[in-house]
Amino acid sequence: MRPAKGSTQPLIYSMPDPAAPTWGRKIMRQIYQQRYLFLMVLPFVVWVIIFKYIPIWGWTMAFQDYKPHLSFAEQTWVGWKYFVELFHDRQFYLVLRNTIAMSLLSLLCGYTFPIMFAILLNEIGRRYFRQIIQTISYLPHFVSWVVVAGIFTKLLAIGGPVNQLLLALGLTDKPILFMAKGEYFWGIVTIADLWKELGWNSIIFLAAIMGIDGNLYEAAQMDGAGRFRQIWHITLPGIRPVVFIMLIMSIGNLINIGFEKQFLLQNNMVKDYSEVLDLYALTYGIRVARYAYGTAVGIFKSAVSIVLLFLANFIIRRFNDDRAVL
Amino acid sequence: MRRGKTKERLFQVFLYGVMVLIGVITLYPFLNVLAISFNDALDTVKGGIYLWPRVFTWNNYREVFTYPNLVIGFNMSLLRTITGTVLGLISTAMVAYVISCREFIARRLVSALFILTMYVSGGLIPEFMLVRKLGLMNNFWVYILPGLISGWNVFVIRAYMDTLPESLTESAKLDGANELTIFFRIIFPLCKPILATIALFIAVGQWNSWFDTYIYCSGNRALTTLQYEMMRILQDVTSATTSSIYGMNEYNAPRTSPESIQAAITIVVTLPILFVYPFLQKYFVKGLTLGALKS
């Protein structure tokens, strides 16, 4: 043992206390002391392993000729066979195109409109009016997609209000078959999504706007900045961090757009535009019982979203640093 | 100066105009469905129902509650919402509490286990296979167990618990209370605002879900849910509109039509949410903001 440098150090090297518990016993005692905490969390650790981690282990299925009645050891391994098959399926590329298209559309609309809405809400002077609008706009978020799909199907029907309005305004001379034309499907899904989530998605931006220091606005007013300049130079930069965080999260989820709305709004006439990856996995994985193939689709999705998450994180960090230098 | 004033006035007109328009676009579909649900089915087919029923009737609602599937579905939706919310809330809060205890030695491990679930999931097919292996097909617990805890909710509640002063639990510990008692007696009541928010989220999710019925429980009529039945009727109506494109639109139901039934169910399905949500609005706005800003 080397002598310590400082004068206060030597205390550490004093004789070990013979009565002090060993490391293992200390741990045991701590576990015993915290037995209630362990008891409380144990059922949920078991739960998370069964319901969240065993399905991840289930990814192995994609590399096997999976037969449900056989045990894990009895399965035949086939390597990347199903992935090769997947990448050779033309349907897969169609489905991928639909997924990416709808996802980009919802990303685009899911940011710009709620941000604009939040900014406008913040400009409303009358408190009660603002609260009423807020309450109304949050409402559709709580309604199920089943209901929303029903409402939209009816709104866009041949004799429905939208067609009536278009006819009355002379924008079209015969009713448009919105739900029967594939080219309209992406737009319909995007608008339905916007209608449902506009208010809800604006909550977080509104909170960020409210968090901006009021003195900044006062100073800008003194300098003679009008409303639009204030929005441009104070509000928008003020909510930038929140926008970036939300953006990273949604880019990571770009490919996980779900399938509920597509499932509920689609019909046989628009299938070429409405099928998304999850529906594809569902059709092949469960209805046709090609479990391995369906799992491969799922793995592809997870891989893409993890890559996107890191990419978005990287790009935005770079972008932010550049801005900071300026 | 004058120009500034007219500009300002124009902006105000634009602002209030846009807001009213958004309000109308959001509310009108609901009011329209409400009007149709109270209007005589034969009369509805003629069209022209906007905000108010023309020939008032309760028939559509009466009809809804004579379909055995819809009655079963209503009860099942209610049961799963209550069970799922109570169990889900206690479980989520308990995990949140344990990982908010700084001295807990397995804290990081448990946190990591739940954080990871927010980013990776097994996906549709492996989860389906798991449910099948566990014998949860056509079983009530498939509504509750697979989605019992969401990692996101755990961390929102934990963020709230971190704001509570530690002295509260310390004095209880000196009095010899164990963590289970502390959790139920002290922490749980103190977290009421955030727990109300999470309860609302879980309840709405339970009430609105239909896919688990579709994929796991479509073989057992006793387990059908309102949303699932509604989905089936909706798909029927969609095919009815598709057939009407080819000029085959003919309903021969005597008292009511699929469209009116669907309107009535829409109201039955939506009403409970409309009653609960305005009271909880101030909580969830706070809860959502807290959760998002912390993470």
**Per-residue pLDDT tens over the stretch B272-286:** 888 877 777 777 777
- The secondary structure of residue A16, as a DSSP letter, is P
SS3 for A276?
coil
- Cα angle B160, B164, B169; round to 5: 125
A326: Cβ contacts below 8 Å, ≥ 6 apart? none
Residue B273 to residue A142, Cβ atoms within 8 A: yes
Helix (H) or strand (E) holding B213: helix B211-216
Domain CATH code at residue A108: 1.10.3720.10
Question: What pLDDT, in 10s, does the model give residues A305-317?
Answer: 888 888 887 877 7
Q: State how far residue B67 is from chain A, nearest Cα, in angstroms.
A: 19
Question: What pLDDT, in 10s, does the model give residues A214-266?
Answer: 888 888 888 888 888 888 888 999 888 888 878 877 887 788 888 899 999 98
Residues of A in contact with B145 (CB under 8 A): 47, 51
Q: Which residues pair with A64 in a beta bridge?
A: A77
Question: What is the rounded distance in angstroms from the CA atom of residue B295 to the CA atom of residue B292?
Answer: 5
Question: Is the Cα dihedral A160, A161, A166, A170 positive or negative?
Answer: positive
- Most A CBs within 10 Å, among B21, B124, B275, B285, to test the A interface: B124
- Cα angle A55, A96, A82; round to 5: 50
Question: What pLDDT, in 10s, does the model give residues A7-43?
Answer: 444 445 555 555 666 788 888 888 888 889 999 999 9
Residue A267 to residue B238, Cβ atoms within 8 A: yes
Residues of A in contact with B88 (CB under 8 A): none
Residue A36 to residue B207, Cβ atoms within 8 A: no
Could you tell me which of A95, A71, A74, A55 has the C-alpha nearest to residue A273? A95
Nearest CA in chain B to A177: B245
- Start-to-end Cα distance in chain A: 54
Mean pLDDT, to the nearest integer, of A58-87?
87
Question: What pLDDT, in 10s, does the model give residues B80-131?
Answer: 999 999 999 999 999 999 999 988 999 999 999 998 888 788 888 999 999 9
Give Cα A181 distance to the centre of its chain. 28
Residue A50 sits at the chain B interface (C-beta within 8 Å): yes
Residues of B in contact with A278 (CB under 8 A): 124
A111: Cβ contacts below 8 Å, ≥ 6 apart? A243, A246, A247, A250
Residue B124 to residue A136, Cβ atoms within 8 A: no
Question: What pLDDT, in 10s, does the model give residues A281-300?
Answer: 988 888 888 889 999 999 99
Domain annotation covers residue A309: yes
Retrieve residue A283's tokens: 């059709």
- Domain with A135, as residue range(s), is 89-320
Domain annotation covers residue A3: no
Domain annotation covers residue A176: yes
Whether residue B210 contacts residue B230, with contact meaning beta carbons closer than 8 Å, is answered with: yes
CA distances from A224 to A210, A239, B4, B43, B130 (A): 22, 22, 11, 60, 65
Let me know how long chain B is: 295
Whether residue A41 contacts residue B98, with contact meaning beta carbons closer than 8 Å, is answered with: yes
Residue A221 sits at the chain B interface (C-beta within 8 Å): no
Q: Which residues pair with B39 in a beta bridge?
A: B56
Whether residue A58 contacts residue B125, with contact meaning beta carbons closer than 8 Å, is answered with: yes
Q: Taking 80 as the threshold, does the pLDDT of residue B138 lie above it? A: yes
Domain annotation covers residue A122: yes
Q: Which of residues 168-187 of A touch B (CB under 8 A)?
A: 177, 179-180
Q: Side chain identity at B39, as an amino acid letter?
A: N
- Give me the number of domains chain A comprises: 1
| Rg (chain A; Cα; Å) | 28
Domain annotation covers residue A255: yes
> At how many degrees (to 10) do helices A127-138 and B258-294 cross?
110
Whether residue A157 contacts residue A164, with contact meaning beta carbons closer than 8 Å, is answered with: no
Domain annotation covers residue A4: no
Domain annotation covers residue A14: no
Could you tell me which of B196, B253, B200, B245 has the C-alpha nearest to residue B45? B253
Residue B288 to residue A203, Cβ atoms within 8 A: yes
Confidence bin at A5 (pLDDT 50/70/90): very low
Residue A4 sits at the chain B interface (C-beta within 8 Å): no
Note the pTM of the prediction, 2 decimals. Answer: 0.86
Residue A139 to residue B26, Cβ atoms within 8 A: yes
Domain annotation covers residue A186: yes
